[in-house]
Amino acid sequence: MEKLTVTPIGTVHNEATPDTRSEDFRRLVSEIVVDPKYADGLTGVEENELLTVVFYFDRNDGECRLQLHPRGDESRPITGVFNTRSQFRPSPVGITVVKLKERKGNRLIVEGLDALDGTPVIDIKPFVRTFDTGEEINDPGKDRARRPH
């Protein structure tokens, strides 16, 4: 099968480093700066309390490990990459649901994004329970996590 392409729409800015501990990412505040070319796509995004951010692991040098110790911890048994959230995957794409704190024009201030400073963002989606929790929500009013007014 051939390669497919995705488009960077913005960049993560934060103070994370490769040494930031995974538990500290949950409270880390990041700014996603969306390319002005795509800023019209942000209309209405401020309604959401939660956003699904899709980003590209660009520090991998193309490395893919089909089987690995989760988090590189050798005390944990080797498992398949599709049973982990490792960055060393055939498609180096990370997905994290974050809290939207504020939108300032083409910049989104979010909490809980576990991506390093400078990481390309390839997509932003509203968190919708029907798609994101495996549950079926028939009431559209309850399908989203909305920000308090």
Residues that bind its own copies (CB under 8 A): 1-9, 23, 26, 35, 38, 40-45, 47-50, 52, 54, 56, 58, 66-67, 78-85, 89-93, 95-99, 112, 114, 120, 122-128, 130-134, 136, 138, 145
Closer to its own copies by CB, 17 or 137: give it.
137
Closer to its own copies by CB, 17 or 73: give it.
73
d(CA 115, CA 139): 33
User: At its nearest, how many Å lie between its own copies and the CB of residue 54?
Assistant: 6
Closer to its own copies by CB, 18 or 32: give it.
32
d(CA 10, CA 83): 28
Cα dihedral across residues 80, 20, 105, 5: positive or negative? negative
d(CA 7, CA 27): 28
Closer to its own copies by CB, 18 or 64: give it.
64
Q: Which residues contact 89 (CB under 8 A, 6 or more apart)?
A: 57, 64, 81, 82
